[in-house]
Structure 1
Amino acid sequence: MSTQSIDSKDLQISDVFKDFYRVPDYQREYVWGESDRKGERGDEVDKFLDDIYRELDAADGKEPPEYFIGTIVVCKGEDGVFDLIDGQQRMTTSFVTLCAIRDALEDLDADIPDTLTSQIAAASTDWKGDTVGRMRLDLQYEDAQGILAKYGEGEGFDAPAEGTRSITNLANAYKAVREFLAAELSDDRQKIRLFYGYFTNKVKLIRIETPNVSRALKIFETINDRGVGLDAMDLLKNLLFMHADATQFDALKSVWKDLTQTLYDAGEKPLRFLRYFIMANYSSDEKLREDEIYGWLSSHAKETGHENDPVGFADKLKAAATAYAYFLDGRGPDGKDVRAVANSRKLGGSAIKQHFILYLAGRHLSSPMFARLAREIENLLCVWLIAGVPAKDYERQIAKAATKLQSVSTQEDLDDFISEYISSQKRRHRDDFHRWMATMHTWDLRQYRLRYLLAKITQHVEIEARGSDGLEDLGHFLDTRNDIEHIYPQTPTDAASEEFGEIGEDEDIVERLGNLLWVEQAINRAAGNKPYSKKLPHYDSSSFILARSQGTIKLNGVNDQITQTVKRLRPETEWNVEAIERRQNWMADRAMEVWEVPAKAESPDEAAE
């Protein structure tokens, strides 16, 4: 390229990783997945993977559309390696994703595609004829300490997970990808290959190559100074202004500015919001794609009224965007805290938002009615996710339900809606829900979802024993000072192994749900890798009834509420394979209560569903 030209290329991931890149030592660290001050891990990697997977999954057997992940800015060095000036977070995450896919396939004894191997590392020969083997991506800042090469070389979970900021964040990123492959793709080699094919052939980015670093930094500054995230709204904005009277321009500009700023501040994709808004208010077609929104609006002007009253339509969009931002923050449409909305965010993570369609469709309800709706949605969402219902299937149900929800106005209407659209779905999937709860391992779920499950069951027992006063906030239980305890340790001492006895057919029994207990971190650390008999005294000091009653029933009276609750628990004086099975079956049965899932058919008609 010339000394002045800027070269821009639209590349799929497979083409991107045909070249070599380095992140210069003056760049900042890898920060995706970094924990905040509250100790909660960032969800950028989860969102990156989930957004890509949703595009593939929505294709339903047809050729899926391409998916754009952004722009990178590079400058080629004299050795032919690209200096990565902007975009290192998504490039590093993409590289780690390729490493994790390779490692997952290897663990499944599946063939590793040659293309995948070469996208991670390859050799290059310079003009002198010297051949050098290297990783496709190299982090040169001091904080990285060569850790990325560990993942490239296949060390995976054996790579250091603590030390510098980047080492910790990269370990979190790799773990997040492996959790995704296990939970969303069931560690199925064919599904993983399909995802790999889509990821490398349909996921694309724009690579901007500049002749020197100073030009690259200027472009980086320009990109990051612009509101690039909101450009997708321009067509709709033009459509409204086209139908507005000149006297309405100022009002429309003001509303539009507030609308777009609300979405920007919330970190939400404008097109996703628009799609959900349409599905919540006008259309039950769950197949409406984001790239079809403008065409849909153009052909449904009578329904939306945007041609006759563009300002009114913009006002409606703005009000919906405000409510949507509240939902993202765990609140109801009026801005007040709604625990079930916050809980659903902890359950679904950052990517699963289809249930927001129902929130939008029901935002006209009174506060008590909306709170009840949100509670029912949380329960159903949990059933769908644990039972493994595909996103395209439950989105279809959501789209149908939203049409009906728009007309709900009375408590009787809401009762009928819940019975027809929510209770019926829970009945339909209850057997799969119970089966998965009874057989689940830790890798069957994303880590945040596993924590939600355990905290929710623990909370349920506390409320049953003590009443709901002061205990309704799941955040109290999900506090970072609490953690997952493996009753039979992941790395047991010889004494713990001897006391536990034979592992049995399931070599991964330690990762069964029945072997997990939700306790305070201090108790988790104190219990350590000890035998069960030595752990029980530590559990006794927990503030949670479920943990305190792990070994024996501790009665507080004769017929008081706490005593009645404790009698329903599953204490085990000894810990072995059979005890884990019994406890997991108990947890599966109790989960039916926690998420209000009917335990059995209530009528011949229901049994036939």
Structure 2
Amino acid sequence: MRAQEITFLKLVQGDKQFQVPLYQRTYSWGGDQLKRLWEDVGELVDQHLSGEVGAPHFLGSVVLAPGQIQAGGVQRWLVVDGQQRLTTLMLAFTALREHLKKTGDTRGADRVHRQILVNEFHEGLDHYRLLPTQADREAYTACVQNRAEAGSGDNIGAAYRFFLGAFAEGREATPDDRWIAAVETVLKDLLSIVEITAESGDNVYRIFESINNTGVGLSQSDLLRNYVFMLLPKRGERVYRELWLPMQQSLGPKNLELLVWLDLVVRGHHKTKQSEIYREQQKRLQPLAGDEDALQREIAELAERGRRFLRIVEPSRERSPALRAVLERLAAWGGQTHYPLALHLLDLVDAGGATPEEAAEALGHVESYLVRRLICQTPTTGLNRIFMEAPRELETDRPAPEAVRRFLSGRRRRWPSDEELREAVRGKPFYWGGRPYQRSYILRRLEESYGSTEPVDFARASLSVEHVLPQRPAPEWFEQLAEETEPNQSPQELHDLLVHTLGNLTLSGDNTKLSNSPFERKQQILDASALRMNQEIAAERRWGKAEILARADRLADRAVKLWPGPLGGITSTREEWPGWAELRAALVAMPSGTWTTYGDVAELIGSHPVPVGTYLGSHPAVIGAYRVLTSEGKVSASFRWDESSDRQPPRDLLMSEGVEFDPAGRAHVSRRLSAAELATLLGKDVAPPASHDPLPDGEDAATAERFRAQLREHSPEACDGVAATLDFWRRQGGHVTYGRHEETSCSPMLDAGTSRRPHLLWPMTIYPVSGTVEVVFQYLRSRAPFDDSEQRRELLNRLNKIDGIELPEAKLELRPSFPVGVFAAHGEEIRGVLDWFVHTAALDLARRD
């Protein structure tokens, strides 16, 4: 095999085609990998624009084997390894072409198309420079050909839409044409790839197996250890025994690797990636080769820093009460974002450059920064980079608390002001922000701010977030909300704008009892709570819009005091409201063939349908603006393209993507994306409504009878079909579980694991009161074998062959539903699909064993 380092442009140029073999998995890069790549591209673009000459970014390797070539045809290469990188970059160039076309640079778009994407003078499949595996081929060629279905609901479509959005946001921030030219240069010439080519006749599949079954490799810290002790021929054994081994044992492998990376970051190497630790540390230590005294001092210093790092990950080791308290709060907050700055501050404390109290105050600003950003749902893009830059950027002539606060208050670091915080508490869907434990942490800190003489022991209490106005309220709740609706606003729309906001949320250990009970019943339960915030809610006469907003204002007052804001306080002038960027991101995330409403978008971003409509009306060029319809599913009468646009009317565009409209001009509801589904597509941690809990308590006689009684009452025609299907499932080796809540959901569960490795699967959940059956693709996507999109697509296709079931492929990552009444006439067909589901899971288990 031969290897050479090469740019992407040089790799793909010429009459050639890269074919992904059928034995490889489908394209699987998701949001995290795409964001990391785009951040790397962004750094290279900044360097290029500033004239800084930096090394190309090493993207990885591509292993190729020569394929058959016909006279006058293209040279074919089988992609043995590296298809994810190759496909991702091709999709980036496809989106770049469309961006250039949209901005009027037709010559640039033509250049990208001919140089990168296609073999211009060849037809049929030979026309494409990349030919993915057959499962991905249709989605990929739709993007290259810019067909209506480009940007579908699978990973190929999601990556294409990601890059479309990235280019649009980049132009929004930097309208200068130099930026897009720099992006093109980076993608073509500054991403380094190692091209490894096999010889003709080599066993390609054997090479693939070898690459993907190499066992556990050496970690970055292993490589560094081996290198360092190679340079210590005389003192190595003693230094290892006295310094390295105790450090390694106290930290463990993962934290040791993290320490070695943090050591570089706090020294000012803020651009170092964790995959480059060994290379950067080797470069730093190379000049010390031959000086064993100096190398021993370096290891001693690293071991000392390791002891400080342990105080961050295990705050109980910290002796200062003030510093220990804030380290415990940051540990409860979770994540590693704050580690570089925290370690730098502990370095200062131990060196005498700051007192423990000053470090505690400085880390209090860090907590405030993180909490305020979550409440305001500020995008986390660049957050790690900000904290990696901090040790180098802090002003050294100021006390630590002042230096940290000034640094985090920088204009581009987006520390929300008091005004922004108050707006977000009133309007943002707090329940979709951050992680569940972070939401609970904020509510817990707000409760503690009441200063109760008998505080709750949160470490022992089993509390979870409770919606006072229920997520799925009974009719009497809507009757109350109807008294407070605005003109042309339904009670449901008002409910959706309020239900997930902080003013409607509390902590409780009685969520099952509270459920969607009337407020009078909730009052009784909350009044008996030990939490002051619950007693305050119980003292209200009613619970509607006025009460929720009033409580939001009171909680905002507490939040402002608990978590002080940036220097300058309330800002009178701001950059663009962050909600509009979130709106644009949501519309980019929508797969082709879907639509949403102004109300759904408003609920997502914490706004109102009217300003959403006004914004889209003044920004019709926003990607996906035509997908936003009225609550009835109609195109708004006020929607207009730019006068210079030659685009089809919105309805025609949606129909070309597969959206059906009825004679009254209403889009089919199965293609609508709710606010929760939009939030899911954006990667928010959207928990299912409590009454739709997919992980219920278990199968017992009382809950089983409650489910059957609810089904008999609301969908009697489906009872026999559902019962026969559940019996069939049990005979296949599965079991049935039921929900905890007032609407008793039912899920057919399958244990597809072993005693050592439990692996639960469930294909659907039945809701007897709502009369719906949810197909849980959202959960299956993380569970083998249905983490492969082809297996989920097969499940979707099999179900769609049944009359009455119409699941859109655009919701292959979500939880689409069909009416439970389908069981009445088609139970046997549904059982056939479930039989396939069980068989597929069994085959996968046999393969894994």
TM-score range, shorter chain: 0.5 to 0.7
Match of 1:46 in 2: 35
Question: Closer, same or farther in 2 for the Cα pair 1:123/1:193, shift >3 Å?
Answer: same
Question: Closer, same or farther in 2 for the Cα pair 1:432/1:321, shift >3 Å?
Answer: closer
CA contact (8 A) 1:463 1:471 kept: no
Looking at structure 2, the residues matched to 326 and 103 of structure 1 have their Cα atoms a distance apart, in angstroms, of: 51
Shift of 1:151: 3.2
Cα deviations by residue, 1:481-522 (Å, 9 ceiling, x for unpaired) = 9xxx9xxxxxxxxxx9xx87799xxxxxxxxxxxxxxxxxxx
CA contact (8 A) 1:341 1:375 kept: no
Match of 1:199 in 2: 187
Cα deviations by residue, 1:445-477 (Å, 9 ceiling, x for unpaired) = xx999832999678635642476857799x998
Cα deviations by residue, 1:310-336 (Å, 9 ceiling, x for unpaired) = 456446546757987998xx7669699
The residue correspondences of 1:75-474 to structure 2 (distance < 5 A) are 75-79=65-69, 80-104=75-99, 112-118=108-114, 121-123=117-119, 134-142=127-135, 144=136, 146-154=138-146, 159-161=151-153, 167=154, 169-174=155-160, 176-177=162-163, 186=172, 188=174, 190=176, 191-212=179-200, 214-220=202-208, 223=211, 225=214, 237-238=226-227, 240-242=229-231, 244-246=232-234, 248-249=236-237, 252=240, 266=254, 274=260, 276-280=262-266, 283=267, 294-298=282-286, 307-308=292-293, 310=295, 313-314=298-299, 317=302, 338=328, 340-341=330-331, 343=333, 345=335, 355=341, 358=344, 361=347, 375-380=364-369, 395-399=388-392, 401=394, 417-427=399-409, 429=411, 433-434=416-417, 437=420, 451-452=433-434, 460=442, 463-465=445-447, 469=456
Shift of 1:296: 4.1
Cα deviations by residue, 1:225-246 (Å, 9 ceiling, x for unpaired) = 387775798688546533x243
Shift of 1:433: 3.6
Question: Closer, same or farther in 2 for the Cα pair 1:95/1:132, shift >3 Å?
Answer: closer
Query: 1:28 aligns to what SS in structure 2?
Result: coil
Looking at structure 2, the residues matched to 156 and 257 of structure 1 have their Cα atoms a distance apart, in angstroms, of: 60
Match of 1:532 in 2: 494
Looking at structure 1, the residues matched to 198 and 262 of structure 2 have their Cα atoms a distance apart, in angstroms, of: 39
Identical counterparts, % of pairs: 15
Name the Cα RMSD after superposition.
Answer: 6.4
Shift of 1:70: 1.0
Q: What letter is aligned with 1:596?
A: P
Q: Does 1:562 align with 2:533?
A: yes
Question: Closer, same or farther in 2 for the Cα pair 1:74/1:295, shift >3 Å?
Answer: closer
Query: 2:24 aligns to what SS in structure 1?
Result: coil
Query: 2:26 aligns to what SS in structure 1?
Result: coil
Structure having the higher Rg:
2
Match of 2:847 in 1: none
Question: Closer, same or farther in 2 for the Cα pair 1:309/1:23, shift >3 Å?
Answer: same
Question: Closer, same or farther in 2 for the Cα pair 1:151/1:249, shift >3 Å?
Answer: farther
CA contact (8 A) 1:75 1:210 kept: yes
Looking at structure 1, the residues matched to 291 and 244 of structure 2 have their Cα atoms a distance apart, in angstroms, of: 13
Query: 1:81 aligns to what SS in structure 2?
Result: strand
Looking at structure 1, the residues matched to 298 and 348 of structure 2 have their Cα atoms a distance apart, in angstroms, of: 18
Cα deviations by residue, 1:60-81 (Å, 9 ceiling, x for unpaired) = 7133421101111111211422
Match of 1:506 in 2: none
Range with greater deviation from structure 2 (15-24 or 187-196): 187-196
- Match among 7, 11, 19 for residue 16 of structure 1: 11
CA contact (8 A) 2:7 2:189 kept: yes
Question: Closer, same or farther in 2 for the Cα pair 1:344/1:247, shift >3 Å?
Answer: closer
Q: What letter is aligned with 1:72?
A: V
Shift of 1:12: 1.2
Looking at structure 1, the residues matched to 463 and 42 of structure 2 have their Cα atoms a distance apart, in angstroms, of: 32
Looking at structure 2, the residues matched to 184 and 589 of structure 1 have their Cα atoms a distance apart, in angstroms, of: 36
Shift of 1:247: 5.7
CA contact (8 A) 2:417 2:565 kept: no
Query: 2:194 aligns to what SS in structure 1?
Result: strand
CA contact (8 A) 1:324 1:333 kept: no
Question: Closer, same or farther in 2 for the Cα pair 1:124/1:178, shift >3 Å?
Answer: closer
TM-score normalised over the length of structure 1: 0.58
Question: Closer, same or farther in 2 for the Cα pair 1:356/1:82, shift >3 Å?
Answer: farther
Q: What letter is aligned with 1:434?
A: S
Shift of 1:436: 10
Looking at structure 1, the residues matched to 422 and 187 of structure 2 have their Cα atoms a distance apart, in angstroms, of: 31
CA contact (8 A) 2:418 2:560 kept: no
The residue correspondences of 1:470-509 to structure 2 (distance < 5 A) are none
Looking at structure 1, the residues matched to 18 and 407 of structure 2 have their Cα atoms a distance apart, in angstroms, of: 49
CA contact (8 A) 2:17 2:128 kept: yes
Looking at structure 1, the residues matched to 80 and 249 of structure 2 have their Cα atoms a distance apart, in angstroms, of: 28
Query: 1:31 aligns to what SS in structure 2?
Result: coil
Question: Closer, same or farther in 2 for the Cα pair 1:257/1:418, shift >3 Å?
Answer: closer
The residue correspondences of 1:573-588 to structure 2 (distance < 5 A) are 573=545
Question: Closer, same or farther in 2 for the Cα pair 1:58/1:194, shift >3 Å?
Answer: closer
Q: What letter is aligned with 2:293?
A: N
CA contact (8 A) 1:437 1:588 kept: no
Question: Closer, same or farther in 2 for the Cα pair 1:439/1:422, shift >3 Å?
Answer: same
Higher RCO (CA-CA < 8 Å; seq separation 6+): 1
- Match among 11, 25, 28 for residue 28 of structure 1: 25
Question: Closer, same or farther in 2 for the Cα pair 1:175/1:431, shift >3 Å?
Answer: closer
Looking at structure 2, the residues matched to 106 and 261 of structure 1 have their Cα atoms a distance apart, in angstroms, of: 57
Q: What letter is aligned with 2:36?
A: K
Question: Closer, same or farther in 2 for the Cα pair 1:427/1:123, shift >3 Å?
Answer: closer
Question: Closer, same or farther in 2 for the Cα pair 1:286/1:386, shift >3 Å?
Answer: same
CA contact (8 A) 2:61 2:196 kept: yes
CA contact (8 A) 2:152 2:158 kept: no
Q: What letter is aligned with 1:159?
A: G
Looking at structure 2, the residues matched to 361 and 276 of structure 1 have their Cα atoms a distance apart, in angstroms, of: 12
CA contact (8 A) 2:503 2:551 kept: no
Q: Which runs of 5+ in 1 are unaligned?
A: 1-5, 34-41, 162-166, 405-415, 442-446, 486-495, 504-526, 603-609
